[in-house]
Amino acid sequence: MRRNRANAEMDSAQILLLYFFLLFSPSCAEFSTRVGINYGLLGNNLPSPSKSVKLIQSLKANRVKLYEPNPEILKALSGKKLQVSVMVPNQLITNISSNQTLSDQWVETNIVPYYPRTLIRYLLVGNEVLSFFSDQDKVTWHNLVPALRRIRASLKTHNIRKVKVGTPLAMDVLGSSFPPSNGTFRSDVAESVVRPLLQFINRTKSFFFLDVYPYFVWSQNYQTVDLDYALFETKDVTYTDPKTSLVYRNVLDQMLDAVFFAMDQLGFPKTRLWICETGWPNAGDVDQIGANIYNAATYNRNLVKRLTTKPAIGTPARPGLALPAFIFSLYNENQKGGPGTERHWGLFYPNGSNVYPIDFSGEVSDYSGYPPLPKAENNKPYKGKIWCVVAKGANLTDLGSALAFACGQGNGTCEPIQPGKECYKPDSLVWHASYAFSSYWVQFRSGGGTCYFNGLAVQTTRDPSKISLSLSLSMGIWLVKRVI
């Protein structure tokens, strides 16, 4: 009995010690320069939360950001030395902004059951709410900061003191970003939303959370922006800001400093910044240049090395500043819409194998002992023709709906495949859909139209006029033998 009691007392002491560590130690590690990971769930083939947590740990990450308060993931993170950021959905912002009870209930349901054993340290209200590409209206814009205040009050109500509140914004919150010294916030949000946001951030000692992607800057300006300059690879290419004479050696620093100068202009020069998302796609559509494993590995490895260097490097405008960051993303997510790159930002394939090795601790500076990276084959635009056709295995029912959508966009998209017209034959759903997809894509791609159609379409460089495209479908095999 004495031995059992001693063991019980030891167990209790160990539990108390663990609780003390989880509750108090993160305050010392909050500014650790070790990089974190974004954990998205837009895939129908992703590993379990417990396996995912092990993969995160294998990266030697110390932080993870969740896009929703998933109970299974929060439980899987319990007792782990991983700081956690949780997101409040965009669609709740307006209601929470005017309803403290609703805010209290959200925190009680989604945070309280897991805290503090799960090291929840940041609550992010919404995601890129102020972006032009967001589906949020201007009413939501103006409800953003009130919602931040409500959530913070709810945390206090539940005696949760160590969780910071913020909101991730995209780079398009800036009206001007070049040169960096000319960084300014958009006139439609600068005074009405961003100023009160910065006041909230500074008063609560939180962060300006920013999603920043040099890939898009380079891919949209590849003729004038050097690829190595975007990948932290060049020592010869520099840019000097004409106003400040600050010298830049990579795209990321230019983007970050544009935001720092924009905050300076509003009178908030000491606001802390957190890179909430950054990364490089490991694959994409035929017409998306530079999206490959070699570039993705090079960017992310160099990013980790730069952000974990001690003492901190900072940026030309903020030398020595430590920059916490999350890399996007843990997995390639096959249910994300849009162009092909959207489904190829992951460090792991859904089967758990890595796309390329990487170590978030910064302790690995030489990857020469790892398998060589595949050669980059698409760093220049594809110059041949590209067609958009029905993907192998497409569901017939969904295909009918997609065909109706493509034909319903006007501009004569489907006129040639109407009965009696020149492209009506062969009279098959697959043929008509392939024609409609290509016609739609040609007409609307410049305005954001993609060859995707919820996974029903795929780009091809194989001329359908010279081959028979065999499509294996759930209800049979169809042959497309006509020019698209």
Q: Which residues of 253-284 are buried (b: 16+ CB within 10 A; e: fewer)?
A: bbbbbbbbbbbbebebeebbbbbbbbbbbbbb
Contact 37, 327 (CB under 8 A): yes
277 is catalytic: yes
CB neighbourhood size of 56 (10 A): 24
Beta strands in 14-127 (DSSP E): 36-39, 63-66, 83-88, 120-125
Active-site residue, 30 included: no
Name the active-site residue from 277, 342, 363, 377: 277
Side chain identity at 204, as an amino acid letter? T
Whether 84 contacts 121, CB under 8 Å: yes
Choose the catalytic residue: 30, 68, 108, 128: 128
| Residue 144 backbone dihedrals phi, psi, to 5 degrees | -65, -55
Q: Which residues, at least 6 apart from 314, have a Cβ–Cβ distance to it below 8 Å? A: 320, 321, 322, 323
Q: What sign results for the dihedral spanned by CA atoms 71, 73, 74, 75?
A: positive
Q: Which of 108, 93, 171, 102 is nearest to 139 (CA)?
A: 93
- Residue pair 396/474 in contact (Cβ under 8 Å)? The answer is yes
Q: Which residues are catalytic?
A: 128, 277
